């Protein structure tokens, strides 16, 4: 069965599928009920599943994450939505010092099957406190899994897998993608730790995820006009990371550009670059190029916000330096 769906609809469909199958799957967060979520992702779910399973919470991210940890440890499979990933800072103690550690500290005798939904990224005019990309913080914490889909198919399949996982999964959702439509041909789970080739090529490897997949694809079109065939890898899962797909691509291209929307300093792009340097250095014909946002809080003014974020021109300039 094939169906055109938006990114947001695909996330809702995946949550609804699992909630129909398992009464222990619940959703809660600020305004996820009657309002349908800040970005409309959970619209209609309270009518189908009722206020006991689709719950509005107080404005307290510490309470939301704490409730997810407690309910997951005692038999439920919660999906906790934070309105913006920026607000995760308020719940970091519950997440980093409790959720990420409990299964390990109890010798595997309990499970923590919880998903934390994290709308992220700039481009909406939300400014410095509502538009950050903080995924690198969470990839640093043992005990957490981190995924970041770029399209409806991957959003649906990865959400199904995330709900099924017995460990805490951090599910990043780029806010600018919610309304983007694409074809969904499968309603099956997509394994974590498996990237995909978004575009095949044999001259250059561009490694990315989330919204920047489309930036990379646009840059690849421009490079193709100059005779450079770029391969675009959408890693989809930041941890676990699909190292094999990166290695197989570099065996063909011998050149790599990494583009992420996060601030370049201390970003996850640096982790990918270090992995390539440590484990695949013999495949490289040029230094790895790393592209990210500028080292500043996200500006409010639209022109400054666009200047802050990476773009196609950054990739093209970096690529042409390699040839």
What are the Cα distances from residue 195, in Å, to 95, 152, 192, 300? 26, 15, 8, 33
Instruction: Give pTM, 2 decimals.
Output: 0.97
Per-residue pLDDT of the chain (323 residues; tens, 9 = 90+): 789 999 999 999 999 999 999 999 999 999 999 999 999 999 999 999 999 999 999 999 999 999 999 999 999 999 999 999 999 999 999 999 999 999 999 999 999 999 999 999 999 999 999 999 999 999 999 999 999 999 999 999 999 999 999 999 999 999 999 999 999 999 999 999 999 999 999 999 999 999 999 999 999 999 999 999 999 999 999 999 999 999 999 999 999 999 999 999 999 999 999 999 999 999 999 999 999 999 999 999 999 999 999 999 999 999 999 99
On whether the 3-184 domain is CATH 3.30.43.10, my answer is no
Domain ranges of the chain: 3-184, 196-320
Query: What's the CATH number for 196-320?
Result: 3.40.50.920
Which of the following is catalytic: 130, 145, 175, 211? 130
Q: Among all chains, which residue has been given the structure tokens 């407690």?
A: 70
C-alpha span between 42 and 37 (Å, rounded): 5
Q: Among all chains, which residue has been given the structure tokens 């003014």?
A: 301
Active site residue 130: yes
Identical fold, 3-184 and 196-320: yes
């Amino acid at each position: 069965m094939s169906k055109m769906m938006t990114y947001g609809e695909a996330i809702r469909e995946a949550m609804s599928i699992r909630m129909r199958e398992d009464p222990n799957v619940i959703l809660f967060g600020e305004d996820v009920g009657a309002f349908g979520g800040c970005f409309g992702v959970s619209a209609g779910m309270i009518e189908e599943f009722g206020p006991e399973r689709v719950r509005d919470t107080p404005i307290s991210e510490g309470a939301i994450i704490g409730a997810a940890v407690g309910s997951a440890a005692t038999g439920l499979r919660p999906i906790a939505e934070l309105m913006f990933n920026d607000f995760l800072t308020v719940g970091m103690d519950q997440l980093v010092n409790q959720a990420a550690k409990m299964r390990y500290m109890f010798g595997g005798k309990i499970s923590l099957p919880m998903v934390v939904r994290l709308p992220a990224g700039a481009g909406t005019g939300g400014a410095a406190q509502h538009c950050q990309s903080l995924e690198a913080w969470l990839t640093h914490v043992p005990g957490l899994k981190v995924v970041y889909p770029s399209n409806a198919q991957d959003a649906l399949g990865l959400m199904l897998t995330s709900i099924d996982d017995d460990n805490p999964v951090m599910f990043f959702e780029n806010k600018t993608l919610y309304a983007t439509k694409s074809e969904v041909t499968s309603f099956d789970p997509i394994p974590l730790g498996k990237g995909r080739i978004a575009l095949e090529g044999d001259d250059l490897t561009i490694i990315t995820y989330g919204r920047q997949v489309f930036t990379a694809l646009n840059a690849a079109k421009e490079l193709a006009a100059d005779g450079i065939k770029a391969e675009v890898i959408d890693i989809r899962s930041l941890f676990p990371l699909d190292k094999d797909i990166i290695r197989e691509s570099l065996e063909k291209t011998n050149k790599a550009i990494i583009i992420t929307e996060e601030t370049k300093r201390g970003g996850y792009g640096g982790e990918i670059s270090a992995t390539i340097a440590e484990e695949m250095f013999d495949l490289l014909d040029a230094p790895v190029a790393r592209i990210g946002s500028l080292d500043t809080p996200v500006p409010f003014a639209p022109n400054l916000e666009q200047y802050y974020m990476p773009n196609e021109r950054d990739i093209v300039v970096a690529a042409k330096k390699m040839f």
